[in-house]
Amino acid sequence: MVSRHHSRRAFVGRSTLVSGAALAGLHGLGARASLAQSTPGAASATPLSAENREGEFLERDGARIFYQVTGEGDPILLLHGYPLSGSLFDRNRDALAESYQVITVDHRGYGESETDEVPDSIAIYAEDALAVLD
C-alpha cells in the first residue's frame, strides 16, 4: 500500500523515527479509548479532525482506516495519541517529506477513520498500522 520501494520488513528493519507523542499517547489509548471514540458507523468524534483531508482508506476487519503518504525516501510512520488524529502532524509533514516518505494513520474511531466498534487493544491499532505499511 505505502511504497513500491519499501516493504514492511525493510521498514521495520530500519532505524525509524517515531513521534514521542505517539508513544506517550499509545500507553493510555487502550484504557481511555471509549472517551473519544466514534459512535458506531460514524466517521469520528476526534475534536481536532480536519475535514476533507486528502489521503487513502484501507478496509480492514470492519473498519475504514484513513492514512496519508507524502514524500519519498526512507519511511517514517507517525502515530497519534489519544484523542487526536494524523492531522496532528500537518505542520511537520511537509518539512519531513523533503527527505523521507511520511506516513500518518488515523487509528480506527479517530480522525477520518471509521469503525463500528472501537477496539480496547493497542495491538489492533498496531496491526492496522502494519496493514497500511503492507
Instruction: Domain ranges for the chain, please list them.
Output: 8-38+55-133
105 forms bridges with which residues in the sheet? 67, 79
Give the pLDDT mean for 49-77. Answer: 90
pLDDT class of 120 with cuts at 50, 70, 90? confident
Structure-model confidence comparison of residues 7 and 100, the more confident one = 100
C-alpha dihedral sign at 10, 11, 17, 23: negative
Contact 79, 124 (CB under 8 A): no
Residue range 11-48, pLDDT digits in tens: 444 434 344 333 333 333 333 333 344 444 444 444 44
CATH 3.40.50.1820 assigned to 8-38+55-133 = yes
